[in-house]
Amino acid sequence: MNTDRNRIFVYDTTLRDGAQGEGISFSAGGKEQLARRLDTFGVDYIEGGYAGSNSSDMAFFEPLRKKKLRHAKLVAFGSTRRARTPVQKDPQVASLLAAGTPVVTVYGKSWKLHVRDVLRTSLKENMAMIRETVAYLKDRGREVIFDAEHFFDGYRDDPDFAVRALAAAAEAGADTLVLCDTNGGSLPHEVFGAVRTAVDLFDRPIGIHTHNDMELGVANTLEAVRAGAVHVQGTMNGYGERCGNANLTSILPALVLKMERTCLRPGELKKLRDVSLFVDDLVNIRHWPKAPYVGRSAFAHKGGAHVNAVKKNPHTFEHTDPATVGNERHVLMSELSGGSSVLLKAVELGLARRETEEGARDILAALKAMESKGYAFEAADASFRILAQKVLKKHRSFFDLEGYRVIVEKRGKEEPCIAEATVKVSVNGEVEQTVAEGEGPVDALNGALRKALTRFYPSIAKVHLTDFRVRILDPEESTAAITRVLIESSDGEATWGTVGVSDNIIEASWEALVDSVEYKLFREEERKKPGRRAPSKRRGGQRRAKA
Amino acid sequence: MNTDRNRIFVYDTTLRDGAQGEGISFSAGGKEQLARRLDTFGVDYIEGGYAGSNSSDMAFFEPLRKKKLRHAKLVAFGSTRRARTPVQKDPQVASLLAAGTPVVTVYGKSWKLHVRDVLRTSLKENMAMIRETVAYLKDRGREVIFDAEHFFDGYRDDPDFAVRALAAAAEAGADTLVLCDTNGGSLPHEVFGAVRTAVDLFDRPIGIHTHNDMELGVANTLEAVRAGAVHVQGTMNGYGERCGNANLTSILPALVLKMERTCLRPGELKKLRDVSLFVDDLVNIRHWPKAPYVGRSAFAHKGGAHVNAVKKNPHTFEHTDPATVGNERHVLMSELSGGSSVLLKAVELGLARRETEEGARDILAALKAMESKGYAFEAADASFRILAQKVLKKHRSFFDLEGYRVIVEKRGKEEPCIAEATVKVSVNGEVEQTVAEGEGPVDALNGALRKALTRFYPSIAKVHLTDFRVRILDPEESTAAITRVLIESSDGEATWGTVGVSDNIIEASWEALVDSVEYKLFREEERKKPGRRAPSKRRGGQRRAKA
């Protein structure tokens, strides 16, 4: 099975253990999006959630059973059967099967304290729970991963008992035995020693699952791999309860770049920063600038001497080439991202050729000016394109704004809140004024704008918003802070993102709405031109050519 | 000198290497404040800054020479003499002496790459630079610490050369030899091995200085200590260039609680969280909630099963008693929470006693109903409290909303966007109507509400918003989707969070604003009652009683 002796199997639990983190929650659509992104990335196992514990996790498995993942195996997570309950009558074990995944992960106790104080059952019954649950699931054709919860605490307390819990799972046929530092309280050399023992004792893959409560989550995982573990569990960006799970975003590059292990699909490590940002965006949390490898500051140089030395030879102050993880060097007099990416982006969008670096430089200057105001174009390709067209003087505007007004009103505590928007635009000198109500001010504004433009541009009727995200920048300034609105639109064929920034959320939303409509109209016009193809938006062949 | 064989010397470089971090800068007064706080804490060495490189660092040493520190030794930092310059004529070495500190730290090269590509001098001259600078400073009565920059890279490249650099410093009389992982690219076992070699070769204290570029800063420091290092350099909260320096806030508790080493003044480890917050406050950066030991989430429990187990026995899911580092357990309200976490929370807030589980069950039912509408109470303690009070019929409302209206208007493409809000409330039958403009609709609404209430409740004037977050739930439904607004408010003493949910962002913000104001008024009223203490929000005695 594992022909490559250096192969490490990556097990992502962002959707399950990661979701235990403070402030982390995924929408149903977001879960599926993440699973597909991780699949492309080359993760081997994707733990989708608890089987049974709540219906939203169960619902997640459904679409992925229909439209399968390409590489990764989907995993349902649950515990061993309850004490004194026949395994075939345990509802939780039944839902592990009902999830219909090829792999199930079952956690069981390997620390006497937990058997006594939490399960409140006998040590013997604990072993039976492990053995019977694993055997039952194996009999039904599942790949079974056994998570020995609190393994290292248990091993410290009574090594023999902890090892016997592993043996119970192994004898019952568990495919992988995973040692968990559930409380995150173990030191690297302790992890190394215990993993080495398990590797020596058992004839099957040993896995590792650590937490970051002592800021040792990554170290403990890497030490486990050095001791012979070949299966690594963790979460993207280290999401997870308390101080988080072992951070795959730091572990994966260390395995590949520093320890010569094999994992992920070829070439995908270069997308590490993209994936990391994607996950943060999905749950709408702020990217951690100091994050190793992927953070904005990870390759930032402040001291003049360092910058100088790095210019002479990057190895002097960089342990890794930032490009290997999709990041870039960052010199701190400018707060902003570098220029080569802009050129690449402009090429990708069909706005520039490699030769015309000239235009790219102008775009970069405009981009930096926008970024300093709070704009972010990572998820707003369409706004970037419109900006670039304006710089290159290739932009024409399809309508002029004469004005808008939004009213939100509530007449009494129990009364509904009403939102109404009026919009006045002119197209080739012809003025159109419309009014619409909506669920909220932005919805009303969106309705009025589309109403006004559909008369002139009927295709606008097909455009609808598929995502709408708001981030407040400079939170210290609270409600008066700058608001960034990201909108994703679709016409049923293509999907595009736009951005707006203002200290007024309505104005920021308006900007993003206008960009969205203009992009649609522009694309349409371009498509009509004979002999020209609209540039492909995402995952184009062009991107591959550049990489 | 070192009679306690387990004694570790703590060397804080927050003011020097920490200040290299993105967004970190200290005022002159702030530097002195921090030095005195660290002195009380029991740090052994405080590196104040570069000698000579900039005048503000030099100015820092002045007041500390006059009003001495009680325990810590003050350190000036600089490099070896320049190549081909007599040491007594090197201006930088002269300013190391001029700083007037009892200790100087001198860094020198131990990696051939740097000698060749950065210094551009001979390997022999490099050794002379180290030897002569150390000897010169020793002759003038200083304690000299030698920082072997890039030691581990140098050791990997050519162990003999790296060790010879240490030997040059040792022969010249350096008191401590510090091995630096300047680029943060080393693995724990590499650090262990190289430190062990140095410990075996030299008859004086070996120190360690690591960076966090691989998320291994803490692990590498702890492994160095295990290998025999007795001098530990780091920064508070892991400030520092790129991904930061080794984080003393994680290292110190590990040394004391997990490795049985001695450091800090007795009893001071309990102030760890206070010191950590103090430092963040000083440079005005947001505390990292997931920070091990000291973060708000470090002992936060979300899953119902975990909360249940912690109630039975805290060791089950806590690797350390939060009180040992001045932190506390924290129960998160969430979709995953069961009844036990609600009870714990209600006890924590002083709303219920352990006995009255009955009330907790009603609160849980109300909580679940709210959560299914999109409310989240993890970061909204104050809204949870108001909800609980309503359920327990202990709530009284301080004002009635008669209505509000928000208008956002833009008269033309280049015109500014104007936001105006009117609010009508009544207090005990008396109606107040106010109007305010703001940067955006929520800011305007906030202004009008506070204006209206200040007449009746002057203390409202002190309340200000410290954070404002917006999340759109079900993003697939775009602008008509449900909006969740989280607000953090402060009156200068306490901080509290509130939440509002609606398909209209204005209404959601209004809800959160109202909860915030009601919570403030409620707390105030409670405080005035004779014989009753307001339930302490943070660091309460109650919390300790329950644990």
Q: Would you say A419 and A443 are in contact if contact means Cβ atoms under 8 Å apart?
A: yes
A44 Cα to chain B: minimum distance (Å):
23
A327 Cα to chain B: minimum distance (Å):
13
Which among A188, A302, A472 has CB closest to B20? Answer: A302
B70 Cα to chain A: minimum distance (Å):
30
- Alpha helix segments (H runs only) across A436-540: 441-454, 505-528
Residue A372: pLDDT band by 50, 70, 90 thresholds? confident
Contact B118 A410 (CB under 8 A): no
| Residues of chain B found within 8 Å of residue A30, distances taken between Cβ atoms | 475
Q: Would you say A223 and B216 are in contact if contact means Cβ atoms under 8 Å apart?
A: no
What is the model's pTM? 0.72
Look up residue A346 and give its two tokens: 């402009």
Give the chain A residue whose CA is nearest to the CA of B21. Answer: A302
Let me know the angle formed at the C-alpha of A40 by A386 and A272, rounded to the nearest 5 degrees.
70
Q: Give the model's pLDDT for residue B216.
A: 98
Residue A64: pLDDT band by 50, 70, 90 thresholds? confident
Q: Give the model's pLDDT for residue A333.
A: 37
Write the pLDDT tens digit of every residue in A271-286. 999 999 889 878 877 7
- Distance between CA atoms of residues B26 and B49, nearest Å: 11
Q: Give the model's pLDDT for residue B334.
A: 57
Q: What is the count of residue pairs from A and B with beta carbons less than 8 Å apart?
A: 359
Residue A287: pLDDT band by 50, 70, 90 thresholds? confident
- Alpha helix segments (H runs only) across A351-416: 357-372, 381-391
Contact A189 B483 (CB under 8 A): no
- Residue B200's CB is within 10 A of a number of other CB atoms, namely 10
| Residues of chain A found within 8 Å of residue B297, distances taken between Cβ atoms | 21-22, 242-243
Strands A206-210 and A231-234: parallel
Contacts of B241 (CB under 8 A, 6+ apart): A300, A301, A302, A303, A306, B17, B20, B21, B22, B211
- Distance between CA atoms of residues A347 and B248, nearest Å: 46
Q: Would you say B470 and B476 are in contact if contact means Cβ atoms under 8 Å apart?
A: no
Look up residue B225 and give its two tokens: 């200590």
Alpha-carbon Rg for chain B, nearest whole angstrom, is: 29
Tell me: pLDDT of A538 over 60. Answer: no
Residue B491, classified by CB atoms within 10 Å of its CB into exposed (0-12), middle (13-18) or buried (19+), is middle
Q: What are phi and psi of A37, to 5 degrees?
A: -65, -40
Helix (H, G, I), strand (E, B) or coil at A365: helix
Which among B284, B316, B502 has CB closest to A417? Answer: B502
Contacts of B244 (CB under 8 A, 6+ apart): A290, B21, B211, B212, B217, B235, B238
Q: Would you say A484 and A500 are in contact if contact means Cβ atoms under 8 Å apart?
A: yes
Its ipTM equals 0.73
Quickly tell me which residue has 């920082």 as its tokens.
Answer: B147
Please state the rounded mean pLDDT for residues A502-511.
92
Please state the rounded mean pLDDT for residues A482-510.
86
Contact B242 A189 (CB under 8 A): no
What sign does the CA torsion over A7, A13, A15, A19 have? negative
| CA torsion angle B59 B63 B66 B67 (round to 10) | -150
Interface test with A, best of B151, B215, B245, B418 (most A CBs within 10 A): B215
Residue A546: pLDDT band by 50, 70, 90 thresholds? very low
Contact A317 B182 (CB under 8 A): yes
B530 Cα to chain A: minimum distance (Å):
33
Contact A442 B404 (CB under 8 A): no
Give the chain A residue whose CA is nearest to the CA of B484. Answer: A470
Look up residue B284 and give its two tokens: 């005005």
Write the pLDDT tens digit of every residue in A174-214. 999 999 999 999 999 999 999 999 999 999 999 999 999 99
Q: Give the model's pLDDT for residue A471.
A: 77
Interface test with A, best of B402, B478, B496 (most A CBs within 10 A): B478
Residue A373: pLDDT band by 50, 70, 90 thresholds? confident
Give the chain A residue whose CA is nearest to the CA of B253. Answer: A214
Q: Give the model's pLDDT for residue B539.
A: 34
What end-to-end distance do the CA atoms of chain B give, in Å?
Answer: 41
- Distance between CA atoms of residues B108 and B118, nearest Å: 12
Q: Would you say A149 and A180 are in contact if contact means Cβ atoms under 8 Å apart?
A: yes
Contact B507 A23 (CB under 8 A): no
- The DSSP secondary-structure symbol of A293 reads T
Helix (H, G, I), strand (E, B) or coil at A166: helix
Q: Give the model's pLDDT for residue B394.
A: 82
Look up residue A28 and give its two tokens: 């149903």
Residue A541: pLDDT band by 50, 70, 90 thresholds? very low
Contact B480 A438 (CB under 8 A): yes
Which among B302, B417, B503 has CB closest to A439? Answer: B503
Which among A306, A316, A503 has CB closest to B113? Answer: A316
Please state the rounded mean pLDDT for residues A295-320.
76
Please state the rounded mean pLDDT for residues A470-486.
71
Q: What are phi and psi of A34, to 5 degrees?
A: -65, -45
Contact B302 A22 (CB under 8 A): yes
Contact A469 B475 (CB under 8 A): yes
| Residues of chain B found within 8 Å of residue A210, distances taken between Cβ atoms | none
- The DSSP secondary-structure symbol of A107 reads E
B460 Cα to chain A: minimum distance (Å):
16
- Distance between CA atoms of residues B199 and B192, nearest Å: 10
Q: Would you say B24 and B18 are in contact if contact means Cβ atoms under 8 Å apart?
A: yes
Residue type, A491: D
Let me know the angle formed at the C-alpha of A228 by A223 and A232, rounded to the nearest 5 degrees.
70
A178 Cα to chain B: minimum distance (Å):
18
Give the chain A residue whose CA is nearest to the CA of B239. Answer: A290
Look up residue A442 and give its two tokens: 């932005």
Q: Give the model's pLDDT for residue B545.
A: 28
Tell me: pLDDT of A516 over 80. Answer: yes
Q: Which of A502, A528, A524, A525 is nearest to A513 (CA)?
A: A502
Q: What are phi and psi of B86, to 5 degrees?
A: -60, 140
Look up residue A52 and give its two tokens: 């049974």
Provide, rounded to the nearest whole percent, the portion of chain B with pLDDT above 70: 88
Strands B330-331 and B103-109: unpaired
Residue A534: pLDDT band by 50, 70, 90 thresholds? very low
Look up residue B402 and give its two tokens: 């008669």
Residue numbers in chain B where pLDDT is lower than 70: 1-3, 28, 53-56, 284, 286, 303-305, 332-341, 348-349, 351-358, 474-480, 530-547
Please state the rounded mean pLDDT for residues A405-429.
90
Contact A313 B182 (CB under 8 A): no
Residues in chain B: 547
- Residue B495's CB is within 10 A of a number of other CB atoms, namely 15
- Distance between CA atoms of residues B15 and B9, nearest Å: 18
